[in-house]
A and B are shown apart, each in its own frame.
Chain A
């Protein structure tokens, strides 16, 4: 059984790389999530809440659309 993907894509991995190779743990601590949840979001296995999505975008100082893209 393959993991179910959400219709929301994201650029978190790329943005982390461009922000001083930020680790998943560091991002998780800054937005108040667990590292496992960050991994799940990056892999498209979990769509974060709107609040968490805004927090992630704020960490990268980027608009929401740059971090998350809807491919429905």
Chain B
């Protein structure tokens, strides 16, 4: 792969990141309401995607246990408890595995 192709890939990536934040006007209140609903579902989806590999294969036991630990503490609605729950879950998963 040449440097030119690499630079093109970088430009495509940067353009996709900057396009909405630079070119979009501030959204209307109606559109803003819809946009405000997007983050939680996207993060839940990303979490799911990281737990499923190719062909829907599940992640390793410790990783699933870590996710379960984080999920257990998610009602706290704070990142630190989720990280602690995830670490504890991972440790339990390793011990049981």
A in complex with B: no
Chain B residues in the interface with A (C-beta under 8 A): none
